[in-house]
Structure 1
Amino acid sequence: MSSLPTDQRLPIGFDDNTLRQLVGDFSEQQLLWLSGYFYGRYAAGPGPAAAPEPAAPPVATAARPRITVLYGSQTGNSKKVALQAVEAARQRGLDATARDMNDYQGRELGKEQVLLLVVSTQGEGEPPVAAEELHRFLGSARAPQLPALRYSVLALGDRSYLHFCQTGRDFDERLSKLGATALAPRVDCDLDFQADAQQWMAAALDALGQATPAAASVKSPPVEVKEYARHHPLTVEVLEKIQLNGRGSTKETYHLELSLAGAGLQYEPGDALAVVPTNSAALVEEVLRATQLGADAPVQLQGETLPLATVLAERLELSTLSRDVLERYARHHPAPRLRELAGATEQLQRYLYGRDAADLLVDYPAELSAQQLVDTLRPLPARAYSLASSLLAHPDEAHLTVGAVRYDAHGRRKQGACSCYLADRVQVGDQLRVFVERNEYFKLPQNPDANIIMVGAGTGVAPFRGFVEERAERGAGGLNWLLFGNPHFTTDFLYQAEWQQHFKRGTLAKLHVAFSRDQAAKIYVHNRLLEHAREVYDWLENGAYFYVCGDRQRLAATVHRALVSVVQQAQGVSPEAAEAYVRGLKKQRRYLEDVY
């Protein structure tokens, strides 16, 4: 309210100071109510004089809770869910903001009112890079008590791993120990997470209530449905299939080219293409033989009645064995040994390694009905492969680099469900069911003039083929450096002619290879990094981005240690200081991994 000169009287006979005293303790909402009340009396016009009625007390409006939706993502799924949760909250009239754990300081937790936390788990129980610092902070003595915080956790994971959704479990337990109150129970999601994510959003937001009466009829928004996704894949034709390894190689790697003509499917270098496979007839037969069930036995699955053999071939996971399957199977088996195995982490891990569904059925035979078998096994998931192409270079096509997985274990010949499906049973002219899996955190720099260092072994070179094609098509000014490893130069130099052409044109500035078996002393890509340590460090100091693609335990771990050594040598600092430098690169999203 603006001030008036002290000698100026208002039309109602009060001066400004008197009026200020009358309303001095009123809140903004009470002043707003009075303003509306008097305006309403004025708008109604003069009426018969009546005794004044006592004013109704101002209606108190509950303060809107401030919601932070915090996500820790490796490939972008957690971010996707977090943004859906924000939209769901806003449609209810609630104030919500999404925050990336990578950019979030632990001390900010003390200021939060409501925290919805979405986080994935990597490998065997590890947090994604974006969540590492906050995960560490919450487990430290510096973490504050949070008695005023209300929270709920959505954990994303994969039940085929023993430490399923471990990072989400950790956050839930630590927030609870710090005194925070759970709005809704934690939800642990498998690969097919969207339905569970929607239910979690609804439960958490229902616990907060509605912000305004007008929002009471608004329901949580439907889950975003992609045009092509896990339950609605795109059918594509195989245009080309080439074995990349030469005669005599111990490896079996295929280059596949798929037609996207007319589909409108979009992807970016760094994304993956998920392929929906089928199980081999031989493995289906082994399962039927072990259970002594008929191939034509009718079973129910997702509202359909189908023959058992069809469900085993097309809908259920047979080639890998996971903890949840063993736990469900133990309910049908009388042996205490199996129940003990399900509860013993180390022994269970050893048992599961290299075994499939047929192994379990033979090792611990039980009388199962066809329906019980179907209910025990888990759905057959798609397998994701890094895209090996750029749409700019190959319009309406998607290229994959696939290594066939074959091995002997527990007295039987085993094979990868999807890799050998593509290697053995898919030919040119056949059709595949696919969909794109976005990988938001394995992308080219937004600055086209930034240099990039790419480190890959075997099929890990796939995304870098797409990277270099994309940068070449766009005329990017930044330099590209590839370090590639495989066993032998003559048989295993994947895409050799293409790399040599890029090198000749200047679209590949540096190329260093490590063929481990071509000399007595094995040489790997991490050895090449150490050989060129000074130049690697100089590139990083000048803003280069560092990419790694390949095996998590062998390649990624050794490359990480090598890069720490590179920094330590260049700076002359302790291993701890060098580790902090490398960790800083990851936090800046200049050290990016696509590992498996």
Structure 2
Amino acid sequence: MLSSPKLKIVEELIASSTREELAWISGYLAGIAAQNGTAPAAAPAAAAAKVGKITIAYGTETGNSKKLASEFAAKAKKSGINAKLVSLDQYRLNDLAKEEYFVTVISTQGEGEPPAAAKKFYDHIHNNGFKLEKLKYGVLALGDTSYPLFCKAGEDVDAQLNKLGGQRLVDLAKCDTDYEAEADAWFSQLLTSLSTGGDAPATVAAPAKKATAKKTYTGTILTNINLNDRGSSKETHHLEIGAEDVDYQPGDALGLIPRNSSLLVADILAIAGVDGAKKYAYKGEEVSVADLLTGRLNLVHLPERVVAKYAAIVGQSIPATRMGLLDLLKIYPLKDAAQFEEVVAVLEPIAPRLYSISSSPEAHSGEVHLTVARDKFCINGEDKYGLCSDFLTQQPEGAEFEFYIHKNNAFRLPADDKDVIMIGPGTGIAPFRSFLAQRDATGAGGRNWLFFGDQHFVTDFLYQTELLNWVDTGVLTKLNVAFSRDQKEKIYVQHRMLQQGKELYEWMEGGASVYVCGAKEPMSVDVEATLVQVVQQHGGKSKEEAEAYIATLKENDRYQKDVY
């Protein structure tokens, strides 16, 4: 119950608000209530729908865009609007010119690109000279403010639809990883606009800007050990990080911004002829160039757009390619040291890296564990290492660094009594170690089945002792392993899945949830094709029926992937 003073404030707010503002307030409060696990006592009735039908299309990588689009479609239908829900990779591109009311929810990947499922749609609207003069549309963009090109794909789609003649139903909304309340408020605005036939002004009561800074923690390296034995071609580190009161769940990831090596920074300063103590203005503060290069700016594997800006500064033609700053300075040198300040101005911030957490908050209180493969590759005969994996794996015990938690609500354990099937070769084991530790600590009754693979049994069986102990205690009901290089013919996890196909199908039929973690290509693609094959063979279904079966698992959140 509200006290009288609070009630009076609410009444005054209502009296002074427009209908669009009231719609936004209602949606925003409903979103907050949903996040807190509560619901308002009585929600105002939705505005009567004037628009009869609308298309809601989503472009997703992790499933968040799809989840939101599905929720939007359900709300639209409750408001009397016939909502067609479709993935952008299934959307018929020629239909766009016929659309009157079109909404898209789209995430941003990598260097500001759309997700793979939205690539054809993205290219279609950018590369064809058609007009969309009868289109009324809305774009909800999902992203992560930790990255320099936050919601870039959504921004591009919104701008291009407008350029082609489309009229915005509502302004573009850009949501961070904590998106639920803001997305709900945006859709309430959209429904209000649709109730007028889309004739309401494009700018409608924008939600108040919320703080987007993520909560950071300071972690201390407690343990750093190489899980691979001598003779392995791999170097996979188990890191135990001490940090109190970290809020995370199994399935979440740890995010951090790595630091460039001091040797790389020294080489760059030397070849540019710049004093590392020289101060530059950066985001409103004076920072030494050495500090900027070490902890703020990306110096390795620069994207093509940055290389192009460098080419313009030095006045040379540089092929469209990705290249490190040190190599650029060597091959296409600056005219003088003064030019280096121009170069610094076009460099982008170091993007955070995400690593699946391999610990459980219930089993490893006060700690966060990671499983990190040190990425090694060779360029022109010289060994190179991945920036973040090298930074993390070379940290000594006692070293401190800052990190944040990246919530992954699209990769969550089911209810304790439900069975789970986990497929995670290599470092894909990380979240499944978290799952198993959590289920062990909480006494969950559901069965657990793990498929794990790597190169060699002797040198690459990550967490072997722990996994076998979980088998002995019954926490791990089944464990199937595949070591690809221990025999003449390579054997991968999908081969073990086929061998266990009959029981695998029985588990899925019995309600088990399937989880996949690891390399997106080719591993996760091969695993999904194998699941289809298992359903065909042991479910007596056609290929199309088997694919529909797997699609239903996805719809019901019983098939979840965390791939990279």
Matched with 2:209 is 222
CA distance in 2: counterparts of 1:454 and 1:159, whole angstroms: 29
**Correspondence for 1:346:** none
Correspondence for 2:383: 413
CA distance in 2, matches of 1:292, 1:524: 51
The question of whether the paired residues in 1 share the 8 Å contact of 2:306 and 2:347 is answered with: yes
CA distance in 2 between counterparts of 1:590 and 1:366 reads: 55
1:317 counterpart residue number? 298
**Structure 1 residues 187, 505: closer, same or farther in 2, change over 3 A?**
same
TM-score normalised by length of structure 2: 0.72
Partner of 1:120: 107
**Contact 2:309–2:346, Cα closer than 8 Å, also in 1:** yes
What secondary structure, in the 3-state scheme, does the structure 1 residue paired with 2:276 have? coil
Match of 1:387 in 2: 357
Contact 1:155/1:169, CA 8 A, preserved across alignment = no
In the other structure, the counterpart of 2:75 is: none
Match in the other structure for 2:76 = none
Alignment-derived partner of residue 296 in structure 1: 277
Q: What residue in structure 1 maps to residue 406 of structure 2?
A: 437
- AA aligned to 2:246 is L
Which amino acid in 2 is paired with 1:513? V
TM-superposed deviation, 1:395:
1.2
C-alpha separation in 1, matches of 2:439 and 2:416: 8
Shift of 1:106: 8.4
Match among 436, 445, 452 for residue 484 of structure 1: 452
Tell me how far 1:402 sits from its aligned partner: 0.8
Instruction: Tell me which residue corresponds to 2:341.
Output: 371
| 2:286 maps to amino acid | T
Structure 1, residues 23-55: CA drift from partner, whole Å, max 9, x if none? xxxxxxxxxxxxxxxxxxxxxxxxxxxxxxxxx
Contact kept in structure 1, 2:239 and 2:371, CA below 8 Å: yes
Task: Tell me: CA distance 1:134–1:307, structure 2 relative to 1, closer, same or farther (3 Å).
Answer: closer
Mapped pair 1:540 → 2:521? no
Distance 1:68 1:523, change over 3 A: closer
Moved more, 298-307 or 456-465: 298-307
Q: How does 1:434-513 map to 2 (within 5 A)?
A: 434-445=403-414, 447-513=415-481
- Measure the CA separation in 1 of the matches of 2:163 and 2:360: 46
Partner letter of residue 364 of structure 2?
Answer: H
- Contact 1:298–1:307 (CA<8 Å) still a contact in 2? yes
Is the contact made by 1:75 and 1:440 (CA closer than 8 Å) also made in structure 2? no
1:248 to 2:216 alignment? no
Deviation at 1:149, TM superposition (A): 3.0
Q: Which whole-Å CA distance do the structure 1 matches of 2:231 and 2:462 have between them?
A: 15
Judging changes above 3 Å, is the alpha-carbon distance between structure 1 residues 561 and 358 closer, same or farther for their aligned structure 2 residues?
farther
> Structure 2: which 5+ residue stretches go unaligned?
1-46, 73-78, 127-131, 197-202
Mapped contact 2:138–2:172 kept (Cα < 8 A): no
Separation of aligned partners in 1, 2:521 and 2:225: 29
Q: 2:254: which partner in 1?
A: 273
| 1:165-219 Cα deviation digits (max 9, x unpaired) | 5577568767987x74235786899x9999xx99x98xx99x97xx9xxxx9987
**1:328 counterpart letter in structure 2:** K
Deviation (angstroms), 1:154: 2.9
Q: Counterparts of 2:210 and 2:409 in 1: how far apart (Å)?
A: 20
Query: Map of 1:28-427 to 2, 5 A cutoff?
Result: 74-75=61-62, 117-122=104-109, 127=115, 147=134, 149-154=136-141, 156=143, 169=156, 180-182=166-168, 220-225=207-212, 229=214, 233-261=216-244, 264-336=245-317, 338=318, 341-342=319-320, 351-352=321-322, 355-367=323-335, 369-424=339-394, 426-427=395-396
Distance (whole Å) between structure 1 residues aligned to residue 158 and residue 460 of structure 2: 44
1:40-84 C-alpha deviation (Å, 9 max, x unpaired): xxxxxxxxxxxxxxxxxxxxxx999999998755457769999xx
> Which among 553, 562, 567 is matched to residue 535 of structure 2?
567
Matched, 1:584 2:540: no
The structure-2 alpha-carbon separation of the partners of 1:301 and 1:466, relative to structure 1 and needing over 3 Å to count, comes to: same
TM-superposed deviation, 1:483:
0.5
**Cα offset, 1:152, TM superposition:** 3.5
The one-letter code sitting in structure 1 at the alignment partner of 2:393 is A
Q: Which is worse superposed, 145-154 or 462-471?
A: 145-154
Letter in 1 for 2:168: A
* Conserved? CA contact 2:57–2:87, under 8 Å: no
TM-score by length of structure 1 reads 0.69
The residue identity in structure 1 corresponding to 2:440 is A
CA shift in 2, pair 1:64/1:246, >3 Å: same
Partners of 1:431 and 1:100 in 2: CA distance: 50
SS in 1 for 2:313: coil
Superposition deviation, residue 360 in structure 1: 2.9
Question: For this pair of structures, how many residues does the alignment match?
Answer: 484
Amino-acid identity (%): 37
Q: Work out whether 1:557 is the aligned partner of 2:525.
A: yes
Q: RMSD across aligned C-alpha pairs, in angstroms?
A: 4.7
Tell me the distance in 1 between the aligned counterparts of 2:119 and 2:506: 27
Counterparts in 2 of 1:192 and 1:325: CA distance versus 1, 3 Å: farther
**What does the per-residue CA deviation read over 1:124-168, in whole Å, with 9 as the maximum and x for residues that have no partner?**
966477x899999x99xxxxx994634245364899999x95577
- The code of the aligned residue for 2:141 comes to L
Shift in CA distance, 167/150, structure 1 to aligned 2, threshold 3 Å: closer
Contact 2:297 2:349 in 1 (8 A): yes
Structure 2 vs 1, CA of residues 146 and 532 (structure 1 numbering), >3 Å: closer, same or farther? farther
Q: Deviations over 1:273-324 (max 9, x none)?
A: 1122111112213322443333223212111212212111110112222123
Judge conservation of contact 1:121–1:167 (CA < 8 Å) in 2: yes
What is the DSSP-based 3-state SS (H/G/I as helix, E as strand, rest coil) of the residue aligned with 2:451?
A: strand
Q: Does the CA contact (< 8 Å) of 1:245 and 1:492 recur in 2?
A: yes
Contact 2:357 2:430 in 1 (8 A): yes
Counterpart residue identity of residue 313, structure 2: H
Contact 2:148 2:351 in 1 (8 A): no
Q: 1:287 to 1:423 in 2, by over 3 A?
A: same
Q: 1:509 to 1:71 in 2, by over 3 A?
A: same
- The DSSP-based 3-state class of the residue aligned with 2:393 is helix
Cα distance change, pair 565–413 in 1 and its aligned pair in 2 (3 A) = same
- Please give the alpha-carbon distance, in whole angstroms, between the structure 2 residues aligned to 1:133 and 1:590: 27
Distance 1:568 1:290, change over 3 A: farther
In structure 2, the residue corresponding to 1:332 is in which secondary structure?
Answer: helix
> Are residues 221 and 254 of structure 1, via their aligned partners in 2, closer, same or farther at CA, if it must alter by over 3 Å?
same
